[in-house]
């Protein structure tokens, strides 16, 4: 008897900028979106902790080829630090490891923020996805192992103290680069201020190039499950998708003719002519009829494709 092949999803392509709810894992969210859209492929651009809410960009289909560019984008987080306790996970989930009765005032908090701006050295939390000798740090920490993670450089573009609702809490907004751990910021703020601290609330509001206006609440998508007609339901879901090319808005753009597009689809370079042709660059994107066709490099007066999309 012939083996039946695994049923494939549909080849839908685009970005779904999910407003992830609190207490919902990133992997769980991707699986849910993939199932809702009946997509053949899906992936996210940057893990968001289960205890965090907010922007989780999810790529479907060919848009997964643009994930690295969104991963490198700037992020904005709003977070609340609870003073007085340091915890194993640097958030509400962990057990308390140190306590203090000291509470910093607004002036003391603002005085330390300049030292956390720019390129800084940061030690990621023990409970993080950082790999140590091939193992995830959080797996080692859960097994009771002592986790020693070396400091690494991260870039903080700005930190603002939004407010101090009471003596036990401070609310911040931070704009940062790839690899920054907000939980580590809370831990380090508390240590420097001599009062200890952990994150008690965290929300991501931006992952460049997407903005807060692009976000779609999970509840809005789940509500569409009530539509019995599958074609209508999928069409309503697809209306929420952002074109894959939007993830590459920071790259030089090249518009191709149909003849040039045919060469690109065959994996061949095309010669670029004219005053508007981009100069040599490692990353550029090529379009045909307004649709993203390829990501590649510009060198020697040519566009040389690396990744080709269905356009």
Name beta bridge partners: 158: 175
Tokens matching residue 225? 């499950």
Q: How far is 67 from 75, CA to CA, in rounded Å? A: 14
Residue given tokens 């240590």 in the structure block = 191
Point out the residues that are catalytic. 49
Count of Cβ atoms closer than 10 Å to residue 76 Cβ:
20
Q: How far is 69 from 48, CA to CA, in rounded Å? A: 17
**Contact of 284 with 250, CB cutoff 8 Å:** no
Q: How far is 37 from 40, CA to CA, in rounded Å? A: 9
The pair phi, psi for residue 179, each rounded to 5°, is: 85, 0
Collapsing DSSP to helix, strand or coil, 297 comes out as strand
């Amino acid at each position: 008897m012939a083996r039946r092949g695994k049923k494939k999803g549909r080849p839908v392509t685009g970005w779904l900028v999910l407003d992830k709810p609190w207490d919902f894992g990133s992997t769980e969210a991707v699986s849910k979106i993939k199932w809702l859209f009946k997509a053949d492929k899906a992936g996210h651009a940057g893990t968001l902790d289960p205890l965090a809410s907010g922007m989780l960009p999810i790529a479907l289909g060919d848009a997964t080829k643009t994930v690295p560019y969104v991963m490198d984008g700037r992020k904005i987080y709003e977070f609340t630090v609870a003073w007085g306790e340091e915890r194993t996970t640097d958030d509400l989930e962990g057990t308390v490891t140190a306590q203090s009765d000291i509470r910093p005032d607004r002036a003391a908090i603002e005085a330390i923020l300049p030292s956390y701006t720019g390129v800084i050295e940061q030690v990621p939390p023990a409970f993080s996805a950082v790999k140590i000798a091939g193992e995830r740090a959080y797996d080692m920490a859960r097994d009771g192992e002592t986790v020693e993670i070396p400091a690494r450089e991260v870039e903080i573009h700005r930190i603002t103290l939004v407010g101090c609702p009471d003596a036990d809490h401070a609310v911040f907004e931070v704009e940062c680069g790839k690899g920054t751990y907000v939980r580590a910021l809370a831990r380090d703020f508390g240590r420097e201020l001599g009062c200890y601290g952990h994150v008690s609330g965290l929300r991501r509001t931006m992952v460049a190039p997407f903005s807060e206006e692009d976000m779609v609440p999970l509840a809005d998508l789940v509500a569409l499950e009530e539509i019995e007609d599958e074609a209508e339901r999928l069409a309503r879901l697809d209306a929420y998708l952002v074109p894959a090319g939007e993830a590459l808005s920071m790259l030089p753009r090249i518009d191709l003719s149909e003849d040039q597009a045919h060469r690109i689809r065959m994996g061949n370079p095309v010669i670029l002519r004219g005053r508007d042709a981009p100069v040599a660059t490692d990353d550029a994107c090529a379009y045909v009829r307004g649709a993203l066709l390829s990501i590649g490099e510009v060198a020697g007066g040519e566009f040389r494709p690396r990744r080709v999309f269905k356009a």
